[in-house]
Structure 1
């Protein structure tokens, strides 16, 4: 079982260039933009959301991944949650493989019960620009995400923007995330902690 630890910060669109320049200066690298297509699944009755979990397929330049997460907890932009992620052959869930990986009994039970009724609910399509940052002896993956959440509800296309910074701990101490977020906040006006995940934004969009 993996434990994901990250700080999410809402980034005003007018400040994207300033944040990009800050990361370039901080790392000495231009950053690598990649396009990500993410498809989220649940049952029509939202069984996974009710069990505080989320399931997605992600298309990356290297292929498809399926990811199962618990909602976990979030406070002041700091998100901590269980996560299981494995590659798949294509644009199709492989639930049995996820169940073999998932070692959280309640989460596994929720996924097993939901599996026969899963449907696509919404998508998050965005460009992610990545940097690897050293802070306090720890390694942090920093990302600027720009794109949108998309859902089709009763024939109506609904969209909401995505503009955020994510700081994910790859190795070392969690304190490095707070150090880096504080550094960035001093330079980028309007940057704010964000406790709402992309999955939660998708559910909110569907609910109107």
Structure 2
């Protein structure tokens, strides 16, 4: 079972370039920009949302990934949640493979119950610019995400902007995330902790 730990910060769009330049200086290398297209699935009755989990199919430059996450806990922008992620052959979920990996019984049962009725509910399309940052011996993947959450409801396309920073701990102690976040917020005005995930924003967009 993987445990994802990251700090998410809302980024004023006007501060995106200063934040990018700060990461270039801090990491010592130019960021790597990739385009990510994501489709989120649930049942018409929102079985997964009710179980506090989310299911995503992501297209990356290297192929397709499927990801199953629990909502977990989010406090002051720090998200801690279970995550199971694996490559898939194409633009299709492979639920049996996820169920073999998912070792959290409540989440696994919710996915098993939802599987026969899964539909695509909404998507997120954004550009992610990545840096690898070392903080007190810990490795942190820093990302600036800019794009949109998109949901079609009753033939109406709804849209909400994405502009945020994610600091994900890859190895080392969680204190490194807080140290890097504090350092960043001293230099870039207007950053604010974000406790709402992209998946939760998608559900909110559908709900209006």
TM-score relative to the length of structure 1: 1.00
2:80, 2:28 → 1: CA distance? 29
- Structure 1 CA distance for aligned equivalents of residues 114 and 185 of structure 2: 41
- Deviation of residue 137 (structure 1)? 1.0
Task: Please give the secondary structure, in 2, of the residue aligned with 1:134.
Answer: strand
- Give the Cα–Cα distance (whole angstroms) in 1 for the partners of residues 97 and 106 of structure 2: 17
- 1: CA distance, partners of 2:115 / 2:11: 35
Partner residue in 1 for 2:122: 122
The Cα shift of 1:136 comes to: 1.2
What are the ranges of 5 or more consecutive residues in structure 2 without an aligned counterpart? Answer: none
Q: Report the Cα offset of residue 170 of structure 1.
A: 0.2
Q: Which residue of 1 aligns with 2:3?
A: 3
What residue ranges of structure 1 are gaps of 5+ in the alignment?
A: none
- The equivalent of 2:62 in structure 1 is 62
Q: State how far apart, in whole Å, the 1-side matches of 2:195 and 2:164 are.
A: 11
Counterpart position of 2:172: 172
In structure 2, what is the equivalent of residue 111 of structure 1? Answer: 111
Q: Secondary structure at the match of 2:92?
A: coil
Partners of 1:168 and 1:115 lie apart in 2 by 29
SS of alignment partner, residue 173 of structure 1: coil
How far has the Cα of 1:7 moved from its partner? 0.1
Shift of 1:28: 1.4
- Counterpart position of 2:26: 26
Equivalences, count: 208
CA distance in 2, matches of 1:180, 1:27: 11
1:109-153 CA-to-partner distances (Å, cap 9, x unmatched) read 000000000000000000000000000110000000000000000
- Secondary structure, counterpart of 1:65 in structure 2: strand
CA-atom RMSD in angstroms: 0.3
For the residue of structure 2 that corresponds to 1:150, the secondary structure is strand
- Which residue of the partner structure matches residue 163 of structure 2? 163
- 2:86, 2:185 → 1: CA distance? 34
Taking the aligned partners of 1:43 and 1:105, their CA distance within structure 2 comes to 19
Cα offsets for 1:42-73 (capped at 9, x unmatched) = 00000000000000000000000000000000
Query: TM-score, structure 2 length as denominator?
Result: 1.00
SS of corresponding position for 2:195: coil
Structure-2 separation of matches of 1:85 and 1:3:
11
Aligned twin of 1:77? 77
In the alignment, the residues of structure 2 paired with residue 99 and residue 82 of structure 1 have an alpha-carbon distance, to the nearest angstrom, of 14
